[in-house]
Amino acid sequence: MDGQDGLLFEGVPLQTIANQVGTPCWVTGAGTLRRRTRNLRKAFTERRLDIALHYALKANDHLATLSVLRQEGCGADVVSGGELKRACQAGISPSAIVFSGVGKTDSELTLALREGVGQINVESAEELRRLSRLARELGLDAPVALRVNPHIDAETHDKISTGRLGDKFGIDWADAIALYREASTLPGIDIRGLATHIGSQILSPAPFKAAYARIAELVIDLRAQGLTVSVVDCGGGLGVRYRDELAPPPAALAGAIAETLGGLDLKLAIEPGRWIAAPAGVLLTSVIDLKAQRDGVSDFVIVDAAMNDLARPSLYGAWHGIVPLAPDLAYAETGPQTVVGPVCESSDVFAKDRLLPAVRPGDTLALLDTGAYGAVMSSTYNSRPLAAQVMIENGQWKLVRPRQRVEALWADDSVPEWLDSE
Ligand SMILES: Cc1ncc(COP(=O)(O)O)c(C=O)c1O
Ligand SMILES: N[C@@H](CCCC[NH3+])C(=O)O
């Protein structure tokens, strides 16, 4: 907060952006993206670990975000042909791209082979054999790591856990050695190593360590059988503090990797998404109305952003800080309030029974830490156009995506001619 400017983000008064661009509006701080990427890298160099950073595009795939991360020396982790093309469009070298994902189609695998991606993380025996056939048809060798499901509970939200028995991701670790041996004999397959990713928003180093210890065991066993293992991709998942969580620092992740895989002479990589991007973004929204309730039920603050913009609270019950931009609001005797969007779903709630200052219609609020899994998960439900996006850096700001025009929502619809007659 700074005098009459209200809330500043990287030196820019957010109210200026809200006034000029309108709301809802996503704001991404390039300086924050840079600082966090550097801090992450430093944690590994301090442990004398040489590690490649493959930023997970799914967290925030805007070309401006990707350009910042490319400048910071990141490669990319992608999970679809669309993400692969986006990463290339942002100038990330294909050789620094890892293609993960539980269901890659023939055309996506072919695209990855033709573009010359650095690594394809294969998630099943069937995919491995399909990839072998496709690579042979193209006369190419596919650089492959096997993504292993280590059956480790990441102790995070059920819906973002990926490394337990019963989760759809990866190759059962008990099958990994046999499949690795098969991969080493398959034409068109250049098997290089292993990958794992046990979930997202992980708040303790223990599950990381348990998963990497299991991968280290596999590396040792594979090598004992005369197989070459040169690469381990440790995935993403490092959690952040949204409310009062004790999120582990990057040093804890670096420690878990150093203690398990550090001495095995491997090329190591990680795929962070949330840790880099979440605190680098806010969603600006304006209060439309206040609606009083009786019998001790919290009054409603109705805002112009909704679950179609930021899905995390409605999907996972996620908590995001909410801060009014105006500097002069008092924490009056209003009591807790419930902040909701206008979408016609009872789950369209950003915060229930939250203690907030006495906001008024027209006031702007910032929803904090929405830089990861925010804009990328937006939809146009209720015919609500996608929100505008702004990037800021060093006190300057720029509109990097205009608010979608409402006509664009139906521009690709067509009406069958038999309905046109009347
Ligand atoms: C394969 C893979 N790598 C990396 C990530 C990024 O995870 P996070 O944003 O939690 O770092 C994900 C998403 O969970 C993923 O599925
Ligand atoms: N969308 C989730 C994260 C999923 C991670 C993808 N593997 C979230 O918002 O927390």
Ligand approaching nearest to the C-alpha of 198: 1
Position 420 in a domain:
no
CATH of the domain at 361: 2.40.37.10
Q: Are 215 and 208 in contact (CB under 8 A)?
A: no
Ligand number nearest CA of 77 is 1
- Establish whether this prediction's ipTM goes over 0.95: yes
If asked whether residues 245 and 296 sit together in one domain, one would say: no
Mark which of 277, 300, 334 sits at the end of a domain: 277
**Taking 60 as the threshold, does the pLDDT of residue 364 lie above it?**
yes
Does 422 reside within a domain? no
Same domain? 82 vs 106: yes
Backbone angles phi, psi at 388, to 5 degrees: -70, 160
Higher-confidence residue of 154 and 187: namely 187
The per-residue pLDDT for 255 is 98
Give every CB contact of residue 238 below 8 A, 6+ residues apart in sequence.
202, 247, 248, 250, 253, 272, 274, 275
pLDDT tens, residue by residue, 404-413: 999 999 999 9
Nearest CA to ligand 1 atom 5: 236
234 belongs to the catalytic site: no
Mean pLDDT of the region 26-50: 98
Does 75 share its domain with 160? Answer: yes
Same domain, 44 and 64: yes
Say whether both 17 and 102 belong to one domain.
Answer: no
For residue 23 and ligand 2, the question of a CB distance below 6 A is answered with no
235 lines ligand 1 (CB under 6 A): yes
Write out pLDDT tens, residues 245-273.
999 999 999 999 999 999 999 999 999 99
Share the mean pLDDT of the chain. Answer: 95
Residue 215 reports pLDDT greater than 80: yes
Q: How far is the CA of 45 from the centre of ligand 1 (A)?
A: 22
pLDDT at residue 332 greater than cutoff 80: no
Q: Which residue ranges are tagged as binding site?
A: 237, 271-274, 312, 316, 345, 373
Question: What's the average model confidence in pLDDT over 165-194?
Answer: 95
Classify residue 296: in a domain, yes or no: yes
**Residue 303 in domain:** yes
Say what the pLDDT of residue 2 is.
44
Could you say which DSSP state residue 72 is in? T
> Which of 236, 262, 277 finishes a domain?
277
Query: Which of the four pLDDT bands, split at 50, 70 and 90, describes residue 284?
Result: very high
Asked if residue 196 has pLDDT above 80, the reply is yes
Tell which one of 54, 55, 58, 80 to mutate to probe ligand 1, the residue whose CB is within 8 A of the most ligand atoms: 58
Q: Ligand 1 mean position to 68 CA, how many Å? A: 19
State the distance from the centre of ligand 1 to the C-alpha of 56, rounded, in angstroms: 6
User: Does any domain span residue 415?
Assistant: no
Identify whether 291 is part of a domain: yes
**For residue 354, what is the enclosing H or E element?**
strand 349-354
pLDDT at 328 over 80: no
Looking at residue 65, what is its pLDDT? 98
Label residue 420 by pLDDT band (50, 70, 90). confident
Q: Are 123 and 169 in contact (CB under 8 A)?
A: yes
161 pLDDT band, cuts 50/70/90, is confident
Task: Read off the pLDDT of residues 61-119 as tens digits, 9 standing for 90 and up.
Answer: 999 999 999 999 999 999 999 999 999 999 999 999 999 999 999 999 999 999 999 99
Ligand 1 centroid–CA 326 distance in Å is 35
Looking at residues 277-287, what average pLDDT do you find? Answer: 98
Structural domain span for residue 109: 30-277
Q: How far is the C-alpha of 245 from the C-alpha of 370, rounded, in Å?
A: 16
3-state secondary structure of 38: helix
3-class secondary structure for 181-247? Answer: HHHHHCCCEEEEEEECCCECCECCHHHHHHHHHHHHHHHHHHHHCCCCCCEEECCCCECCCCCCCCC
Residue of 385 and 152 predicted with greater confidence: 385
Q: What percent of the chain shows pLDDT beyond 70?
A: 97
Residue 419 lies in a domain: no
Question: 100: Cβ below 6 Å to ligand 1?
Answer: yes
Task: Check residue 167 and give its pLDDT.
Answer: 86
User: Within this chain, do residues 238 and 261 fall inside the same structural domain, yes or no?
Assistant: yes
Q: Annotate 236-270 with three-state secondary structure.
A: CCECCCCCCCCCCCHHHHHHHHHHHHCCCCCEEEE
Distance CA 198, CA 202 (A): 9
CB 130 within 8 A of CB 152: no
Is 421 inside a domain boundary? no
Output the pLDDT for position 399: 98
- Is the CB–ligand 2 distance for residue 260 below 6 Å? no
Mean pLDDT over 372-388 rounds to: 98
Q: Quick check: CB of 320 below 6 Å from ligand 2? A: no
Cβ-Cβ contacts under 8 Å for 381 (sequence gap 6 or more): 307, 308, 343
Say whether both 354 and 236 belong to one domain: no
pLDDT at 159: 86
Does 1 score more than 50 pLDDT? no
pLDDT of residue 153: 86
DSSP E strands in 254-333: the ranges are 267-270, 281-291, 299-303, 322-324
Are 263 and 295 in the same domain?
no
Which of 78, 270, 370, 373 most suits a substitution to test ligand 2, by most atoms within 8 Å of the C-beta? 373
Question: Quick check: CB of 384 below 6 Å from ligand 2?
Answer: no
- Positive or negative torsion for Cα 265, 263, 261, 76: negative
Ligand 1 centroid–CA 197 distance in Å is: 7
- Ligand 1 neighbourhood includes 351 CB (under 6 angstroms): no
3-state SS assignment for residue 54? strand
Q: Are 310 and 166 in the same domain?
A: no
* pLDDT at residue 14 in the model: 97
Pairing of strands 281-291, 299-303: antiparallel
pTM: 0.96
Per the rule left: phi > 0, alpha: psi between -120 and 50, beta: everything else, 154 is alpha
User: Residues 157, 265: one domain?
Assistant: yes
Residue numbering of the annotated binding site for substrate: 274, 312, 316, 345, 373
Q: Are strands 349-354 and 189-195 parallel, antiparallel or unpaired?
A: unpaired
CATH number for the domain that contains residue 144: 3.20.20.10
Number of independent structural domains in the chain:
2
Residue where a domain terminates, one of 254, 277, 300: 277
Section 142-159 average pLDDT: 92
Based on the domain organization, do 60 and 185 belong to the same domain? yes
Mean of pLDDT values over 332-357: 92
- Minimal-distance CA residue to ligand 2 atom 8: 373
Q: Are residues 96 and 209 in the same domain?
A: yes
Q: Within its chain, how far is the Cα of 419 from the centroid?
A: 43
